[in-house]
Chain A
Amino acid sequence: MKNFAYARAQDADTAVQLITQNQNAKFLSGGTNLVDLMRENIEQPDHLIDVTGLPLAQVEELPGGGVSIGALVRNSHLAANQIIRERYPVLSQAILMGASAQIRNMATTGGNLMQRTRCYYFYDTDARCNKREPGTGCDALEGFNRIHAILGASDDCIATHPSDMCVALAALDATVHVTGTGVERTIPIVEFHRLPEDTPQIDTNLQPDELITSVELPALPFARNSMYRKVRDRASYAFALVSVAAALEVEDGTIKNVRLALGGVAHKPWRATEAEKVLTGAKADEEIFKRAAAEELKAARGYKHNSFKIELAERTIVSVLKTLASEGGAR
């Protein structure tokens, strides 16, 4: 690991100030991904600005029924939060299916958003990787790409975003609150992460001097009927091959509201807007679920080892919607 300087910030202004003043600086929160990457010599910051002392560790109900999640709320706390479990079960489930208990105890909401890809070649400093070293090429294109993207990839990068939590946030239409030099702004979660295009080294639309302060969930009453399904190679502690976050409201057999997002398939949590269009207002049955899934995956492209993900994603979407339709119908 390369030597680095370390500073603790006690408030957001100081944190932003410190990151602007220092070259090649990074915010440090739970450290469950950043420190790993530093040990692997992939991230080599000169300065770490520890933000864990900031007062951003609360989950608060907002007027109007939404919820604000402080950027420093630990994943374990968020998953266990009673409001989240009742109103947004998809989010609680997604978090609990991520990582391990030990990692979830350390990892924070803001940090989870900033996770970097688990592409094998990103992790191997002897391999070519446009995300790690722009312009060197992509060894995943012709290499082991079983875990890689089928949607929204580019010739420069076919990596996926590893988060489960973010997939649930995408389905729930969350917004990310950030603060920068003198400016505060909000970014819709679906615009927070980027597709790789020809600049895969840039994971998000967060500016270098911006700090995530909270994530806001809108009031979404029908999200009480929501779930997260993660399909993976082992029962726990594995990244999603495909995951589905969904919320569904069916009234008199007709789909009144639906939110659908996919994980493990793209460089960002993938909001399935095409499928949602097909589903909204339609009769809730298996046929329409299949049609919606197929519509969403129409644009999918498989590589040497990951074409199976296209069918897997379709099947998982249908399975989740079937479950939600039957459970929602019972209420």
Chain B
Amino acid sequence: MSARIVKPGAIGQPFSRVDGRLKVTGKATFAAEYKVENVAHGALVFSQIARGKIKNIETSAARNAPGVILVLTHENAPEMKKTPVFGSDSEEMGAASSSILYLNTDEVYFNGQPVAVVVAETLEQAEHAATLVAVEYEEKQAKLILQAEKPDAVLPEHIPGEPSDLKQGDAEGALAEALYKVDNIYTTPPFNHNAIELHATLAEWSEDEKSLTVYDSTQYVIGVQEMLAKKFSLRKENVRVIGSFVGGGFGGKGNAWAHVSLTVAAAKVVKRPVKLVLSREGVHLSVGGRTPTEQRVALAANDVGKLTALIHTGFTQTTEHNNFAEQFTFPARHLYKSENIWLRQEMVHLDIVPNTFMRAPGESPGTFALESAIDELAHEMGIDPIELRARNEPDRDPVKDLPFSMRNIKEAYRVGAEMFGWSKRHAAPRTMRDGRFLIGCGVATAFYPAYQFPAAARVEIHADGTAIAQSAMHEMGMGSATAQAQNLADELGLSFEQVRFEYGDSNFPYAPVAGGSNSTISVGAAVKAACDDAKKKIHGLVGEDDASPLKGTRFDEVEFREGGIYRRDDATKGETFHAILRRFEEDKIEGEGEAAPGAESEKYSMGSYGALFCEVRVDEETGEVRVSRFLGVYDCGKIINPKTASSQWRGGITMGIGMALTEEALFDVRKGRIVNPSLAEYHLPVNLDVPNIEIHFLDIPDPLTPMGAHGVGEIGITGVAAAVANAVFNATGKRIRDLPITLDKLL
């Protein structure tokens, strides 16, 4: 047996994010910050009605305003072809947020639809001139209220990959006969992502108008590239989309919204680069957010607390132009064993800005309803809510009837209960108090599926012993680039400092949208494949070289470590990349690779889980709720980087606290407009609203995923609102089923 000491790899170490220094020193260049010569500035004019036709659009005042170069409307805009809508059934995965042909139509489909672009020498001139465009409409009756349109709700063919109506047994029958039951409606309001970086597009055409470069704040550079190529009839390879740094996306930059093509069109007409940055109001008006939900959860249990019925049904809103279902019934498909199950999601079509995905679409509102209901049943039965969950823990996936690739929820609760001191909690509401503050504790389960999508990468090993990998992946602050650098270092046997990962450029090999928490494992697998390719090439050189101590070895007899390649059975025999490349007079070795989920992923139910513990303090006099403690214990496979992963969970929990207590886009149904489109009035949680969030992770690898890892971007928000609502119930005895839990609901 060899006695050599194996150096621990980069994976699993808490490296600080590679982009951190650039960001805090202002050196990270965001889309709107690229220096392009002769750039003109664009501003949008938004429709003031929800549904109708433009009768007349008066642009002369705007055109004559100082500095104005162009006012682009449906009367003078170039043709932009129809392209696949994101998530539509088309085989091509499009990036378009809807099928609306902005500025190629006189139809108005929602209040806030861009109806003109003003281009001027300065941003201020463009914004001012935009106020001078006068639009006359022929107004039509708009559909704006979810509840009113429920009779016309449609049952989608499927909600991403799953049936929209699923029945096992007779859930209603079992509910009617049950000894214990809860049956309630839960509602969540519309939310907006509110990423701190405003959506920005900077478009520059080549002189011959055959090629195009676009700097865009996007979570999907390849998707935007494909969309723009089609819209403007260009060869795909002649369209380059760059989004090196993105200041938060949360799903809001996963689709290309109206301004992206409109900026490109404006740049084409004025024959100059054009930059367009949405105002905060513009983001709320023209970029969709999370749909409100109305969910029914009914649970029935027998005398020992085993579920006999689980019903989760309800409604979300969308438009005819995008049909995006918020899959809120996903958690109920995988979390609990029940003899009878009924899940159903319907959608109503409204005349609103197309909705889109936002951090854990579906699971986020879905866990609020389901995990509140479990808590209600536990209270009803006088069983501890953790114990009730344990009694209904399935040994196989309840609806897919497949084994779990990995599932350690019970362990997460065991560890969490101990860390949090759950046993000290009083089960009876209104029994813990500190002066005028009522104190309450609650738990909830976090859940998010583990997705892997096809991706590609390339790698270069340089003669100086460093390496670079590239993929058209995205870094919006999640830590993805840091995680991939760690992966790359370990694959090549280099140190973390010797490698660099490049991303956010459509010139790099294909990467999917930054959505579904897929990036780490999708791109991770591609990086591994590219490294394998490069390693084989290096071994191919030395394996047949008389000058190499590795001559005659097979690939499985060597290993890559410490910047070189060595025999496994004799650690002294080998040589460095530097020595090899110098001898062969090469300055680099390149590798390419692609990866896609394996067939075994179809044979397993793959998800991530978490046990959440929350303590709240409620001012009994005013109803104000403040979260005083929060603990998340996560079961997300092998954690590549504890530091950046913990930041992701903390960020998700913070967003969940906002969802629970403060956030709501106020949609005025009279005109179909959001009336609080600002960070002053759309209440994201501020520092004082967020306690010190404790994080623990089990770090148990999933045997089926690349690196044993799962993505961690979205699970953080799931379950949080329920944990808070359950704690509020424990504190006050009031069950709030309508988010956000504002103080007026507790008076």
Does any Cβ of B come within 8 Å of A142's Cβ? Answer: yes
Mark the stretch among A46-54, A228-236, A262-270 that contacts chain B. Answer: A228-236
**Across the interface, do A144 and B742 meet the contact criterion of CB distance under 8 Å?**
no
Chain B contacts for A144, CB-based, 8 A? 666, 668, 675-676
Chain A contacts for B687, CB-based, 8 A? 236
Chain B contacts for A143, CB-based, 8 A? 668, 670, 675
Most-contacted residue by chain B among A1, A40, A121, A233 (CB, 10 A): A233
In the complex, chain B residues 665-686 whose Cβ is within 8 Å of any chain A Cβ: 666, 668, 670-671, 673, 675-676, 678, 680-681, 683, 685-686
Take A3-B128, A233-B662 as given contacts and tell me if A315 and B673 are in contact as well, using a CB distance cutoff of 8 Å: no
**Across the interface, do B668 and A236 meet the contact criterion of CB distance under 8 Å?**
no
Take A312-B747, A319-B622 as given contacts and tell me if A124 and B673 are in contact as well, using a CB distance cutoff of 8 Å: yes
Does any Cβ of B come within 8 Å of A238's Cβ? Answer: yes
Take A144-B666, A235-B689 as given contacts and tell me if A118 and B436 are in contact as well, using a CB distance cutoff of 8 Å: no
Chain A contacts for B683, CB-based, 8 A? 233-234, 238
Does any Cβ of A come within 8 Å of B66's Cβ? Answer: yes
Take A124-B675, A236-B688 as given contacts and tell me if A316 and B668 are in contact as well, using a CB distance cutoff of 8 Å: no
Does any Cβ of A come within 8 Å of B208's Cβ? Answer: no
Chain A interface SS verdict (over half): loop
Does any Cβ of A come within 8 Å of B650's Cβ? Answer: no
In the complex, chain B residues 109-139 whose Cβ is within 8 Å of any chain A Cβ: 124, 127-128, 131
Chain A contacts for B626, CB-based, 8 A? 235
**Across the interface, do A234 and B622 meet the contact criterion of CB distance under 8 Å?**
no
**Across the interface, do A308 and B688 meet the contact criterion of CB distance under 8 Å?**
no
Bound-state Cα–Cα, A235 to B685, Å: 8
**Across the interface, do B675 and A121 meet the contact criterion of CB distance under 8 Å?**
yes
**Across the interface, do B742 and A233 meet the contact criterion of CB distance under 8 Å?**
yes
Does any Cβ of B come within 8 Å of A237's Cβ? Answer: yes
**Across the interface, do A315 and B622 meet the contact criterion of CB distance under 8 Å?**
yes
Chain B contacts for A124, CB-based, 8 A? 673, 675
Chain B contacts for A237, CB-based, 8 A? 680, 686
Take A120-B675, A233-B743, A308-B747 as given contacts and tell me if A1 and B127 are in contact as well, using a CB distance cutoff of 8 Å: yes
Tell me how far the C-beta of B292 lies from the nearest C-beta in chain A, rounded to whole angstroms.
15
**Across the interface, do A235 and B124 meet the contact criterion of CB distance under 8 Å?**
no
Does any Cβ of A come within 8 Å of B48's Cβ? Answer: yes
Q: How many residues on chain B are close to A (CB under 8 Å)?
A: 35
Does any Cβ of B come within 8 Å of A136's Cβ? Answer: no
Nearest opposing residue in chain A for B667, CB measure: A144
Contact of A118 among B671, B681, B686 (CB under 8 A): B681
Chain B contacts for A1, CB-based, 8 A? 124, 127-128
In the complex, chain B residues 607-624 whose Cβ is within 8 Å of any chain A Cβ: 621-624
Take A144-B668, A237-B686, A308-B744 as given contacts and tell me if A231 and B622 are in contact as well, using a CB distance cutoff of 8 Å: yes
Nearest opposing residue in chain B for A124, CB measure: B675
In the complex, chain B residues 142-196 whose Cβ is within 8 Å of any chain A Cβ: none
Chain B contacts for A241, CB-based, 8 A? 743
Does any Cβ of A come within 8 Å of B661's Cβ? Answer: yes
Take A144-B675, A231-B622, A231-B743 as given contacts and tell me if A2 and B128 are in contact as well, using a CB distance cutoff of 8 Å: yes
In the complex, chain B residues 244-274 whose Cβ is within 8 Å of any chain A Cβ: none
Contact of A312 among B671, B685, B743 (CB under 8 A): B743
Bound-state Cα–Cα, A120 to B676, Å: 6
Chain B contacts for A311, CB-based, 8 A? 747
Does any Cβ of B come within 8 Å of A17's Cβ? Answer: no
Nearest opposing residue in chain B for A309, CB measure: B744
**Across the interface, do A120 and B66 meet the contact criterion of CB distance under 8 Å?**
no
Tell me how far the C-beta of B696 lies from the nearest C-beta in chain A, rounded to whole angstroms.
26
Tell me how far the C-beta of B42 lies from the nearest C-beta in chain A, rounded to whole angstroms.
16
Chain A contacts for B675, CB-based, 8 A? 120-121, 124, 127, 143-144
Tell me how far the C-beta of B670 lies from the nearest C-beta in chain A, rounded to whole angstroms.
7
**Across the interface, do A120 and B666 meet the contact criterion of CB distance under 8 Å?**
yes
Bound-state Cα–Cα, A123 to B436, Å: 37
In the complex, chain A residues 116-162 whose Cβ is within 8 Å of any chain B Cβ: 118, 120-121, 123-127, 139, 142-144, 146
Bound-state Cα–Cα, A146 to B436, Å: 25
**Across the interface, do B670 and A142 meet the contact criterion of CB distance under 8 Å?**
yes
Tell me how far the C-beta of B594 lies from the nearest C-beta in chain A, rounded to whole angstroms.
46
Tell me how far the C-beta of A280 lies from the nearest C-beta in chain B, rounded to whole angstroms.
24
In the complex, chain B residues 226-253 whose Cβ is within 8 Å of any chain A Cβ: none
Tell me how far the C-beta of B113 lies from the nearest C-beta in chain A, rounded to whole angstroms.
13
**Across the interface, do B686 and A234 meet the contact criterion of CB distance under 8 Å?**
yes
Contact of B624 among A40, A123, A125, A231 (CB under 8 A): A231
Tell me how far the C-beta of A77 lies from the nearest C-beta in chain B, rounded to whole angstroms.
22
Take A124-B675, A236-B686 as given contacts and tell me if A315 and B621 are in contact as well, using a CB distance cutoff of 8 Å: yes
Take A1-B124, A41-B131, A118-B680 as given contacts and tell me if A234 and B662 are in contact as well, using a CB distance cutoff of 8 Å: yes
Take A1-B124, A3-B66, A126-B673 as given contacts and tell me if A234 and B685 are in contact as well, using a CB distance cutoff of 8 Å: yes
Nearest opposing residue in chain B for A241, CB measure: B743
Bound-state Cα–Cα, A40 to B280, Å: 11
Tell me how far the C-beta of A144 lies from the nearest C-beta in chain B, rounded to whole angstroms.
5
Q: Mark A57-83, 1 if CB is under 8 A from B, else 0.
A: 000000000000000000000000000
Residues in A lying within 8 Å of B, measured CB to CB: 1-3, 40-41, 118, 120-121, 123-127, 139, 142-144, 146, 231-238, 241, 308, 311-312, 315-316, 318-319
Can you list 15 A-B pairs with a CB-CB distance of less than 8 A?
A: A2-B128, A3-B66, A3-B124, A3-B128, A123-B678, A139-B670, A231-B622, A233-B662, A235-B688, A236-B689, A237-B680, A308-B744, A315-B747, A316-B622, A319-B436
Known: A233-B742, A237-B680. 5 other contacts (CB 8 A): A3-B128, A144-B675, A233-B662, A236-B689, A315-B621
Q: Which A-B residue pairs are the 5 nearest by beta carbons?
A: A235-B688, A308-B744, A120-B675, A236-B688, A319-B621
